[in-house]
Structure 1
Amino acid sequence: MAGVEEVAYHGTWKIVECVSVAGVVEITGIEGTEFVLDENGDVSWQVPDAAEPLPFFNCETYEVCPPAGTEPGLLKFIGTYAGHVVEFKVDISDDLMLLTYEKCCMLQCQKVSPGPRKEESPYSFLGALDEGFFSDLNLRASSGREFKVHSTILKLSAPDMDWGGQVTPLTGLPEDVLSVTLHFLYAECLPRGLTEDTAQRCLKAMGKMPGFAKFGQLCETFLKNTALTQQMKTLVGDMHTCADRINDLFGRSIEENSQEPVILDGTIWVNPARLCYTVRQALREEATACVKLVIMCDLFAKRKYELSREERYEIMKYVKSRIPIFLKQLLKLLTTIKAYLQTLTQAQRGDIAAYLVPEMETILDTMSRFASETKIALEQAISTSNDAVLEKGEKADKCKKTGVGDALGRTLKHALHLKELKKLKHFHERTTSSFLHLRQKRMNFNMKTQPDKVRSVSQTLSHLVNEFPSFVLRLSEIIVALDDKVTWKEWKYLFKMATSKVSWGLAKVQSHQSSLQPMIEEMCDIVRSEQFNSSLVTLGLRPPADTSLSTTPGKESVVGSTAGAKAGAKPGAKPGATKYAQLSCVDSLCVPPNASSSCTARRCLELFRQAAGTDMVFEVVATQEGGDIVIDHTGSSHDSGARAEAAGGGGREGGEEEEEVVEIRAHRVILAAQCDWFRRALLSGMKEAINRKIVVHDTNPELFRKFLESLYSGCLDTSGLSAEQLADMMTLCDRYEMDSLKHICEFELKSHLDEDNALCLLNLADHLNSRSLRDWALSYVVDHQHLQDSDVFDELPDHLKDEVQDAIAWQGLECRSHSGRGAPLETRSSLSSLSEVDEMVANIDITREQGLDLSTSSSSDDLPFVEDAARLETCIRELADIVGETVPREELTRIALAADYDVNRALNFFFSS
């Protein structure tokens, strides 16, 4: 599908209802399931706990096929059930997508967001641990090193431990174990660079302690994933080693286009017996490499869900990076064989052909026997699959009265079993055809006289010599163009499909092992390799020779393949080291959890609500006209309509105002760890730090409490907030530099845009430099041009008025262009361009344009133009009270003007400068 058309599918979709063939909406349990279709061809699922696990929920890849003629478009989910494809007929329109499967049912999906779900920020207190600010405990390791820690955070992370006793827990642990344990307590994850030895000691020391069960699980998973990583690296390393041995078997390598003469004397090429032995050895190495490849594919297919998506991608990238090396090894082999074969005389080729005749007879007999046994095993597999399909069909007939969700699951699974049966039958047909062809070749070859057999083999060798140059050239071109030919998206698809199909084929062989056992044993006799035999034991295709080795397959494969890796390792190399690219499958264990899944975050929010162990206070100055603010024992305000005004107090026109101060208690270390603005203020040595008190103006106490709750919990719950409250919350987030929370408010405000607030939100977004909300609001105003006639529009700054009018003018040009030439302009792009131009103009130093000279002005009265001198004086006075009288008035005036008379923003500028 063209990129422009496929963009419509990208984003997060939710299954909202399931409709049966009869057109009846039924409750299936899969409602609420969300899936993300990203631009890289990946699909991820978020399935409700109560939903029935349907086959396509395990898919990781999707493909969109556009409509062709009368055929509808298709959405294919790929990668489940051994590489099967689940196809839905798709009909998409704006934010609605209908997926129809066969004649079973239709899934109605609603687009939740235009892109993938926004990932939450990791939740941790590592900043407090690293910098040690506000620490109240010291933990001493056995080495004597002391760690500055915080009892508040330790009680949150390990509430079962007694952190206030005479003997502090964890004291006396080894330094590396204590360091890793504290990292977990502050971040709920493991540190990067953790070694297996340290993880094992952490598991031994802390795994069974109360409150550290999760820590023990993380260490166990780390060790398991590290073993998986090492196993994958070792398997690839073993395959490289096999390829190197094959190259060594055929003598000194000869580079492409080498002018050096090829010397045959003393080589295997003049001795047919040695050459045949070498070929047998090379085939043994190749068989060993192939079975290791099967282990790797099966290992990935079975254990990929234990890893995060990023770690699975790491394995795919690692394997992809190995392909050019394998191809270069193959190119080296083909180049060497080509050089020697072209040097052979006709007589020498005849000697080799004469020696190969009995070998060819043996090879044809063995291959015919293998083909016959494979054919018999396939017939048994087909018979078993047929019985399974019939049994499932009978069960489906008995359950016809169940819901459409069950019907969908049964239909999908039945269809996949039919596809599996079809695949087996197709493979059986190809095997039968190959068997007949091979038997005919064998009969023809055996009917020939000895001279004819020699001539036939000699002609085959000559044909091979003639074809080798083209093989080598083609392989060289593939190596050069590999990255261009196979994109990352294509490689992911190929790797997932290949590994799943190999794993499926292995499962079929394992399920019919009894009929294939004679063939497997004969293969072992032919290959006669310890690594080959141990690899078959790992795959479960052969019983272990020694019962003492009968452990888990993972351990066997590690033992079996590590020996091969050591054989090819460089002297002095570290254990587990490899000359090939590194691989990591433990990254997800070293990333703190998101706030929504963090146990510490939940306890932290509860701690704030209980106000236990606080060491600072916020004084929220609330201004109320002619009324009272009711405060409960926790310090929260019950008057949600109270609005804080600018510092300076009452006496304003329009009615009497009363100021009430609402105290909200908090914990310095938590605020400093979660918000850089609070960290700077509380560590600045200024009044806030000394008094452990921050005075807050221009906000509602309830709203500020909700803001603090979002800092403690790492999540901002916007449910139930009106547009005005979201705007105020967004202002708070901007004031205290919480950009992540600010973006959430910005996104939520988009759904609250209407004719009553569009202009106000445009002005707010411009003031807070919120580009997305600004563009959304501007687009809304352009679509509702009558808003220019409102009083609110007259109160907008001149540059916003001009921008709105310019955008409307652009829309008029777009409409005329579309009607005249049929080539529409991109209106939204025009609006964005205008925004960038206006922002650039707004950033010009206004004081320079207006001729202000702050260096010589000692009072606001000396300024040639000030919109509100009283607000300026109030802001300067409050700044002086906070930062001290030592700061020059000129500097305070400059900061107040830059902050638009907002004291908190001015303090932000002051402390950040």
Structure 2
Amino acid sequence: MATEEAYIGTWKIVECVSLAGTVETTGIEGTEFNLDESGDVSWKVSDDVEPLPFFNCETFEVNEVVTGKGYGHKAIKFIGTYAGLEVNFQVEISDDLMLLTYERCCMLQCQKISSPDPKDDIPYSFLGALEEGFFSDLTITGESGKDFHVHTTILRLTTPGIDWSKTPTPLTGLPNDVLQITLHYIYAECLPRGATEEAVRRCVKMVAKIPDLAGFIKLCNIFLENTALKQQITALVTDMHSSADKVIELFRGMKVDESSQMQSSSVNPARLCYITKQCLREAATALSKLLVLCDLFSRRKAELSREERNDIIKYARSRIPVFLRQWLELLEECKGQLGNLTPQQRHDLATYLVPEIEQGLELFTQFVVDGKAALELIISHSEVEKTDRADKHRKGHVGDVLGKMLKHALHVRELKKLKRLNERTTLSFFHFMQQKESFCTVSQAGKIRDIAKLFESLCDIVQISHSKVTEILDDMDDWLSWRDWKYIFKLATSKISWAICKVQQNQSMAQPLVKQGCDMVHRDEFSTSLTSLGLLANSASQNNQSSPSSGATPKCSTFRTKYVQLSSVESLSVSPFARDSHTAQQALKLLLSQKNTDLTFEIVQAQEVGDTVIDHMGNTPTEHVHAESEVAVCQVPAHRVVIAARCDWFKRALLSGMRESIDRKITVHDTDPSLFRVFLEYVYCGQVELNDLSTEQISDMMTLADRYDVVCLRSKCEYALKHHLDENTVFYLLTLADQLTAKNLKESCMSFLSENSQLSTCEVISDLPEHLQLEVEAVSLTTLQEAHSSTDTPSSTSSVSEIDNFTDRMNIESPLSSPSSSEVAVPESARLQECLEGLREVVGPDVPEHELVSISLAADCDLNRAINFFFL
């Protein structure tokens, strides 16, 4: 059974197969989706593909499903906003192929096109050149006279349609902040951190007519939209906190005067009833703001990046402790109020509340009856729609039949959900009517007695709730992890959005019920929220109170806790990865074109007499090898500002004042010209395709990346070489990993050797450096020890003897052989085991066993020395 890690990566839909087994062309072939370790799914869909329900899903889960016969299989669940439903696929996975089966619909065959690289791309930009100004060849002057030193080579990459040679230079005379933001985008394809809303508005106004900056204007508009969204969400959450504060203040105002000594007359039943109604109205208002928040997130999240969506979800999670503290304060007030009531006061309150409760029950009964009627009408309308969908999905072209079938299947599930809701509502209503009838049939004295007992039980309920909330607040991180909260938030907002959508679609049926709710709450803010949701038609009764999207900041909670500041524009201040960067693509084209170059790489390579060096560009031979020198020289032109901005080693060389900077030439030794060209392409565009390279070529590329300190490329090569490990390459890669201090690759080699202990007898081991020979021998010994410990042996002596025989065959001295000195009383094997156990206690369980064995042997099994060796 595949683990969840097997699903992580990027997949491509190869074909769609009907349940009858026929392959159908649906148009979604080629669609890519990425499943990451955090539980997010992102889709890359062509514009001409019909939008299917699961394309809107952005969360996934892999679960184990057990059938009625006891058989288990994996199921992947895509969670989105389509009808508030999860889209569940049964999944079968084998190597790089995955089959997704949707019930009574189709099977999607998917192929993995990439696995997650632990060293993913880094943001692509030329900001270093802009900030440091090296090799600048153009100056743009701002409105205040400030000069900005820029580079025509980079300006033409992003804005090829602008003539930067004319006078005055484009962008000259713009306000400093506008010019700085614009240049930041040209060099980094993002906005600078800390950009103000006003400055971005001025950018839109002043730069909109300049050609080739349409992407910049679009980014600015997104910034303004997201800023408005941030203000809306913050205002909604603040309003909810304010409503909670008002409820607390209302209960706090019910405290009796201490001078009255808790007389019966101290409790005003009419005031208690009034305050309770006001509290319920405030709670309903806060709930309406929550509905607006959920609907706002569901409608706008498609416009946000994953980072921005996660930012909003983190902000919501950070507010939970504040709401819990408000809830605690409310429970404390309720506990104090209820605990101080005397039996006579409870009796007086119950007497006053009997007619109020009877009236409330009648009102609630009518509301539920109307609600059930509206729900049944919606179900009836949905059944008609189901029939129409069933007829439609049988017709039409093959290309859209999948979408119709999927939507029909999901609509059937939606209808079942509505029917289950109606069944639960009917049962609850039946139970409620029984309780109501039981209450109404008893005498007046019996009603008063029941209500008085309810006050007593409420004290216990409040106390239990207080303890539970306190426990949750103390263990917030354990109680609700980030991944669980993200799942809950997305699913909850999806379901709420679905419910709002259903009411909108059946507004004529639900309108009387919504108006009845507005009359019961009788708050303009509540009505305004429902109007903004499209659930209530505009009413003249609405006044000019703040709408849910208002930027007003009412009183917030008295509890001040640290929480995440919502900033849905942070991702707009991060440069795109190289694979998504337009500038990176243009930089590669610039390298291939060889235009306006001002630097030469001279690749010197030892070669046989008579060979001819051919330029990697496919041009005429650059230089013929002279027989007397036996050296081939290949020249590759480049651009100083590009390689200096993209590689710190080259920048230091070109700014050092030494020969490289004077001659504008960098000499490269002992490298294949074609391989160096690939390396240079990575420097320019930040991407490299390693799948087409051999093990030796990737190794050479890793050596180049290490020489010139290109860390990301070095990591990519190290990761790629792990997949080239086999019996023929393990010792070669082990030596390379040791030379370049590639810890991950070295651990993979050692792990491979431990799993293939027969390789320890290879003659090639003698060619390894001495310290590597010792480490390989240590791995072999450890593997043999583990093998003996897992089998039944006559005695430990026989195990040690076999290890001695094994090391004799290796022509090395056994570290487990008995010491020649009679002064040593403890056998070497026992000393090694004792040292390993002591070392493991100090360094923890994460260090590989073979590494500890090597350290212990080097320290002569002395624990203190081994500890020193490890930390040195």
TM range (shorter): 0.7 to 0.9
Q: What are the Cα deviations for residues 577-636 of structure 1, in whole angstroms up to 9, with x where unaligned?
A: 999752111121111011122111122122222222222222222333133425569686
Match of 1:135 in 2: 136
Q: Decide whether aligned partners of structure 1 residues 793 and 627 sit closer, same or farther in structure 2, where only a CA change above 3 A counts.
A: farther
Q: Decide whether aligned partners of structure 1 residues 830 and 163 sit closer, same or farther in structure 2, where only a CA change above 3 A counts.
A: closer
Distance, in Å, in 1 between the alignment partners of 2:457 and 2:750 is: 73
- Contact map agreement 1:810 1:830 (CA 8 A) in 2: no
Distance, in Å, in 1 between the alignment partners of 2:195 and 2:688 is: 33
- Contact map agreement 1:251 1:267 (CA 8 A) in 2: no
Match of 1:220 in 2: 221
- Contact map agreement 1:779 1:831 (CA 8 A) in 2: no
Match of 2:315 in 1: 318
Give the alignment of 1:489-508 within 5 angstroms: 489-508=483-502
1:55 aligns with 2:42: no
2:630 aligned counterpart, secondary structure: strand
Alpha-carbon deviation of 1:279? Answer: 1.4
Alpha-carbon deviation of 1:133? Answer: 1.3
Distance, in Å, in 2 between the alignment partners of 1:791 and 1:358 is: 98
Gaps of 5+ in 2: 794-832, 834-844, 860-872
1:596 aligns with 2:572: no
Which residue identity is paired with 2:313? M
Q: What are the Cα deviations for residues 309-334 of structure 1, in whole angstroms up to 9, with x where unaligned?
A: 22222222211221221122122122
Q: Decide whether aligned partners of structure 1 residues 52 and 125 sit closer, same or farther in structure 2, where only a CA change above 3 A counts.
A: same
- Contact map agreement 2:235 2:553 (CA 8 A) in 1: no
Give the alignment of 1:294-333 within 5 angstroms: 294-333=291-330
Give the alignment of 1:53-132 within 5 angstroms: 53-59=51-57, 60-65=59-64, 67=66, 70-80=70-80, 81-92=82-93, 97-102=98-103, 104-110=105-111, 115=116, 119-132=120-133
- Contact map agreement 1:97 1:109 (CA 8 A) in 2: yes
Which residue identity is paired with 2:547? G
Alpha-carbon deviation of 1:91? Answer: 4.0
Match of 2:647 in 1: 675
Distance, in Å, in 2 between the alignment partners of 1:534 and 1:100 is: 44
1:735 aligns with 2:707: yes
- Contact map agreement 1:38 1:116 (CA 8 A) in 2: no
Q: Decide whether aligned partners of structure 1 residues 217 and 263 sit closer, same or farther in structure 2, where only a CA change above 3 A counts.
A: farther
2:148 aligned counterpart, secondary structure: strand
Distance, in Å, in 2 between the alignment partners of 1:418 and 1:503 is: 18
1:561 aligns with 2:561: no
Which among 270, 285, 298 is matched to residue 267 of structure 2? Answer: 270
2:568 aligned counterpart, secondary structure: coil
- Contact map agreement 2:269 2:348 (CA 8 A) in 1: yes
Q: What are the Cα deviations for residues 339-389 of structure 1, in whole angstroms up to 9, with x where unaligned?
A: 122222333223322322232222112111111111111111111221222
Distance, in Å, in 1 between the alignment partners of 2:850 and 2:136 is: 50
Distance, in Å, in 1 between the alignment partners of 2:465 and 2:758 is: 72
Which residue identity is paired with 1:568? K
Give the alignment of 1:388-787 within 5 angstroms: 388-398=385-395, 402=398, 409-545=403-539, 560-561=547-548, 565-568=552-555, 581-631=564-614, 658-718=630-690, 720-753=692-725, 756-778=728-750
Which residue identity is paired with 2:208? G
Alpha-carbon deviation of 1:294? Answer: 0.5
1:148 aligned counterpart, secondary structure: strand
- Contact map agreement 1:237 1:565 (CA 8 A) in 2: no
Q: Decide whether aligned partners of structure 1 residues 8 and 151 sit closer, same or farther in structure 2, where only a CA change above 3 A counts.
A: closer
Alpha-carbon deviation of 1:129? Answer: 1.1
1:566 aligned counterpart, secondary structure: coil
Segment of structure 1 superposing worse, 149-158 or 75-84: 75-84
- Contact map agreement 1:676 1:737 (CA 8 A) in 2: yes
RMSD over aligned CA atoms reads: 3.8
Alpha-carbon deviation of 1:650? Answer: 8.8
Q: Decide whether aligned partners of structure 1 residues 691 and 8 sit closer, same or farther in structure 2, where only a CA change above 3 A counts.
A: closer
Which among 327, 331, 339 is matched to residue 334 of structure 1? Answer: 331
Which among 332, 345, 348 is matched to residue 342 of structure 2? Answer: 345
Which among 372, 376, 395 is matched to residue 373 of structure 2? Answer: 376
Distance, in Å, in 2 between the alignment partners of 1:308 and 1:268 is: 61
Segment of structure 1 superposing worse, 682-691 or 283-292: 682-691
1:291 aligns with 2:288: yes
Distance, in Å, in 1 between the alignment partners of 2:856 and 2:192 is: 43
Q: Decide whether aligned partners of structure 1 residues 446 and 126 sit closer, same or farther in structure 2, where only a CA change above 3 A counts.
A: same
2:295 aligned counterpart, secondary structure: helix
Q: Decide whether aligned partners of structure 1 residues 11 and 616 sit closer, same or farther in structure 2, where only a CA change above 3 A counts.
A: closer
Q: What are the Cα deviations for residues 199-239 of structure 1, in whole angstroms up to 9, with x where unaligned?
A: 11111111232111111100100011111111111111000
- Contact map agreement 1:364 1:438 (CA 8 A) in 2: no
Alpha-carbon deviation of 1:197? Answer: 0.9
2:547 aligned counterpart, secondary structure: helix
Alpha-carbon deviation of 1:520? Answer: 2.0
Alpha-carbon deviation of 1:417? Answer: 1.5
RCO comparison, higher one (Cα < 8 Å, 6+) = 2
Match of 2:230 in 1: 229
Gaps of 5+ in 1: 255-259, 550-555, 572-576, 643-648, 844-913
1:371 aligned counterpart, secondary structure: helix
TM-score, normalization by structure 1: 0.80
TM-score, normalization by structure 2: 0.83
Distance, in Å, in 1 between the alignment partners of 2:501 and 2:200 is: 34
- Contact map agreement 1:208 1:216 (CA 8 A) in 2: no
Q: Decide whether aligned partners of structure 1 residues 473 and 564 sit closer, same or farther in structure 2, where only a CA change above 3 A counts.
A: farther
Give the alignment of 1:179-190 within 5 angstroms: 179-190=180-191
Which among 353, 362, 366 is matched to residue 363 of structure 2? Answer: 366
Distance, in Å, in 1 between the alignment partners of 2:5 and 2:245 is: 46
- Contact map agreement 1:629 1:637 (CA 8 A) in 2: no
Q: Decide whether aligned partners of structure 1 residues 789 and 283 sit closer, same or farther in structure 2, where only a CA change above 3 A counts.
A: closer
Q: Decide whether aligned partners of structure 1 residues 112 and 398 sit closer, same or farther in structure 2, where only a CA change above 3 A counts.
A: closer
Match of 1:158 in 2: 159
Name the count of aligned residue pairs.
Answer: 805
- Contact map agreement 1:189 1:592 (CA 8 A) in 2: yes
Alpha-carbon deviation of 1:564? Answer: 8.3
Match of 1:197 in 2: 198
Q: Decide whether aligned partners of structure 1 residues 783 and 438 sit closer, same or farther in structure 2, where only a CA change above 3 A counts.
A: closer
Which residue identity is paired with 2:239? D
- Contact map agreement 1:15 1:31 (CA 8 A) in 2: yes
Q: Decide whether aligned partners of structure 1 residues 547 and 594 sit closer, same or farther in structure 2, where only a CA change above 3 A counts.
A: farther
Distance, in Å, in 1 between the alignment partners of 2:277 and 2:856 is: 74
